[in-house]
């Protein structure tokens, strides 16, 4: 989604929830779980094949997460918790190499969940609007 569309979409969601509450429908949520998509950079399999065998490197227990959607950065700051998860259907081993056109590392997409308290969701939506307006 273009960044100009995201804040109005979240505002419309808040409006629809408030209308449902006015009509006594069961939409008083204690938490919101937002599903999104992130990616991690992975070392290219092609580069590993070209180089001589080296000592095994210890895998980084902490890999950096990169966001596809800028609003997820704002939601992250207001979240109770978040986590990444791998998709059940992964591409083959060389798939990340096809996504490294102008960089050293490949890209491995992954799912992402952000948990936000119901009471702070409206503030998060407002912060998304402010953040994306400052990016323009």
Answer whether residue 54 is part of any domain: no
Which residue range is the domain that position 17 belongs to? 6-48+63-135
Cα 2-86-74 angle, rounded to 5 deg: 40
Tens-binned pLDDT, residue by residue, of the chain (136 aa):
788 899 999 999 999 999 999 999 999 999 999 999 998 887 765 555 555 555 555 454 456 888 999 999 999 999 999 999 988 876 655 454 444 455 567 778 899 999 999 999 999 999 999 999 988 7
Is 80 domain-assigned?
yes
State the alpha helices, DSSP H only, in the chain: 6-22, 45-50, 71-77, 118-135
> Is 58 within the bounds of a domain?
no
Residue 40 lies in a domain: yes
- pTM score of the predicted model: 0.74
Considering its fold, how many domains does the chain have in total?
1
């Amino acid at each position: 989604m273009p960044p100009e569309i995201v804040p109005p979409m979240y505002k419309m969601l808040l409006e629809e929830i408030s209308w449902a509450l006015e009509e006594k429908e069961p939409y008083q949520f204690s938490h919101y779980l937002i599903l999104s998509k992130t990616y991690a950079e992975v070392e290219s399999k092609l580069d590993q094949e070209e180089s001589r065998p080296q000592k095994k490197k210890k895998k980084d227990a902490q890999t950096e997460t990169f966001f596809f959607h800028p609003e997820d950065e704002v939601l992250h700051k207001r979240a109770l918790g978040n986590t990444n998860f791998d998709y059940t259907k992964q591409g083959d081993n060389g798939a990340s190499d096809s996504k490294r056109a102008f960089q050293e590392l490949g890209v491995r997409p992954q799912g992402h969940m952000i948990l936000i308290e119901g009471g702070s969701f409206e503030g998060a939506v407002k912060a998304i609007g402010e953040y994306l307006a400052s990016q323009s």
